Structure 1
């Protein structure tokens, strides 16, 4: 009896060892997703912070085929800061992605990467996309282009805009939809319709400041500049801490040749929202136009401190440093740009 018991014991031990080995082998693959997740997160952070090698890892992630739609869209949000033939190839490929979300994200990448006329050739085909949201996104991306830049897609674009307007009109109780409808009407010069849409927005959301700025634009188009200025002044009295309105006032004054006064509004907007790159960039340009070069450079330096990946600000600061002959600073910025993206067109063109 001893012998059979020994064999039984050995068999039990062997079974336990085999089970342990199987379990260990079974759990190994679960490590891979964590590694993949880390590489994606690290690449996104690297690109967002403008760190060395950012373009390379961003392109590597976009070349993957196993990313979720939302992760792919997040990568596209960073891509315009890293232009190159490879970046354009990746964005163009995702215009054909099976996910509408990714196609819309790729549209925004193309807008950031490609000049106006070339943009039409890439985005025009999406005006016939089977997904309505993608057609509308493509139309929005082409709205600001001239008829010549729209080229062969002028007709299809008008058809999608008409479709977009009909869709927005079905949502009279949606302030955002009515605001977008007003924008379309303003673009097309249909001022009475734009006025009606803006009145709906104001009725739904009395403090909607975007509607206020759209109303200012409408008054301008009607030739009522004084009324536009008065409306801005009245709204600023009611909302003195609105960076959006302060910036709008600065832009309005710039458009009317009052650059010195415009600086007050633009600077106040930056003070209220120091992380808003658009506000700070606009202030830098206005300062430069008034030949306040050092102040303009400081604004761009501060912008890059907050957003190192902001290529637009970096290129402008390089230009401003060149104008003042501070070539050492130029070399530092160029070296940083090359570390981030050695294939940047600015480097290839000898900026």
Structure 2
């Protein structure tokens, strides 16, 4: 009787072990499936914060085929900070994605990754996209290019711009549509039409500051510089705490060769919106143009403290550190850039 009892105990023990193994293995599948969204979230965080390995995990996520459209578009928003042949390949591939949202996000990635002339070669074919919103996004991305840069796509671009204008005209009660229409008219040199569209924007939204700045541009194109300056001054007197208007004043003064005075507006804009990377970047360039190299470096350092992933600011700061001969700082920034993205063209070119 001892042997049968022993066999029974052994059998029970084996069953318990098997049950335990099944129990421990079962949650593994659940954890594995839950790790997919977690890896996306972690990758997006790494890319947004400019952490080591950011480019690698960003590319890995964009190589997936199971992401939702909104998540894929969110990844594209980070991609221009991590340029490489692989990044360009991923962005180019998503120009053919089934989702219009993703195709539009890929267009913005291309704008951030590629110089003007090359951009036309990639985005020109998208002017024939089946989705109207995608065609319009491609046209917007190519709008500021010269006819030479538009190349063979000059004709197709004009066709889409005409289509875009017709679509915007059907939205007379939309301030956003009328503002975009004014931008197209300004680009085409149709100044009277641009003025009429801007008047509609102001009627619909009296405090629309983008319309104010567009009116300043319109006055400049008409050669009415004094009126443009007076309009900016009037608006700033009414809204002195508007970072947008302060920045616009600084840019206007820069464009008119008054860099020293421009600093006041640009610096005020940064003071009012310290987290605005575009404002701080422009201020740094203006300071550098006035040979205030240390002040320009400080602005870029502060920008990178607030936004470590900002490649444009990092590359410019490397250049400024080189100018001042502080090669140790150059090496630190290059090492950080290599940790973020070892395939960055700036590293390959020996910046």
TM-score (norm 2): 0.93
SS in 2 for 1:67: coil
Do the aligned partners of residues 266 and 21 (structure 1) sit closer, same or farther apart at CA in structure 2, a change above 3 Å counting?
same
**For 1:34-77, what per-residue CA distance to the aligned partner results, in whole angstroms no more than 9, with x for missing partners?**
21111000000000001000000000000000000000000000
Q: Does 1:146 align with 2:119?
A: no
Counterpart of 1:264 in structure 2 is 264
Counterpart of 1:77 in structure 2 is 77
2: distance between equivalents of 1:303 and 1:26? 48
Runs of 4+, deviation exceeding 6 Å: 18-27
Gaps of 5+ in 1: 1-17
Q: Once the 2 structures are TM-superposed, how far is the Cα of residue 27 of structure 1 from its aligned partner?
A: 7.0
Q: CA RMSD in A?
A: 1.7
Counterpart of 1:252 in structure 2 is 252
Q: Does 1:302 align with 2:302?
A: yes
2: distance between equivalents of 1:79 and 1:25? 37
2: distance between equivalents of 1:46 and 1:171? 41
1: distance between equivalents of 2:69 and 2:274? 32
Gaps of 5+ in 2: 1-17
2: distance between equivalents of 1:318 and 1:154? 37
After TM superposition, list the pairs within 5 Å mapping 1:1-351 onto structure 2.
29-351=29-351
Aligned length: 334
**For 1:222-242, what per-residue CA distance to the aligned partner results, in whole angstroms no more than 9, with x for missing partners?**
000000000000000111110
Do the aligned partners of residues 194 and 23 (structure 1) sit closer, same or farther apart at CA in structure 2, a change above 3 Å counting?
farther
2: distance between equivalents of 1:26 and 1:186? 64
SS in 2 for 1:207: coil
Counterpart of 1:15 in structure 2 is none
Q: Once the 2 structures are TM-superposed, how far is the Cα of residue 30 of structure 1 from its aligned partner?
A: 4.0
**For 1:109-154, what per-residue CA distance to the aligned partner results, in whole angstroms no more than 9, with x for missing partners?**
0000011111011000100000000000000000011101111100
2: distance between equivalents of 1:195 and 1:36? 51
Q: Once the 2 structures are TM-superposed, how far is the Cα of residue 175 of structure 1 from its aligned partner?
A: 0.2
**For 1:264-315, what per-residue CA distance to the aligned partner results, in whole angstroms no more than 9, with x for missing partners?**
0000000000000000000000000000110000000000000000000000
TM-score (norm 1): 0.93
Q: Once the 2 structures are TM-superposed, how far is the Cα of residue 208 of structure 1 from its aligned partner?
A: 0.4
**For 1:72-92, what per-residue CA distance to the aligned partner results, in whole angstroms no more than 9, with x for missing partners?**
000000000000000000000
2: distance between equivalents of 1:80 and 1:341? 12
Q: Once the 2 structures are TM-superposed, how far is the Cα of residue 22 of structure 1 from its aligned partner?
A: 9.7
1: distance between equivalents of 2:240 and 2:325? 40
2: distance between equivalents of 1:193 and 1:26? 68
Q: Once the 2 structures are TM-superposed, how far is the Cα of residue 26 of structure 1 from its aligned partner?
A: 7.8
Q: Once the 2 structures are TM-superposed, how far is the Cα of residue 257 of structure 1 from its aligned partner?
A: 1.0
Q: Once the 2 structures are TM-superposed, how far is the Cα of residue 33 of structure 1 from its aligned partner?
A: 3.5
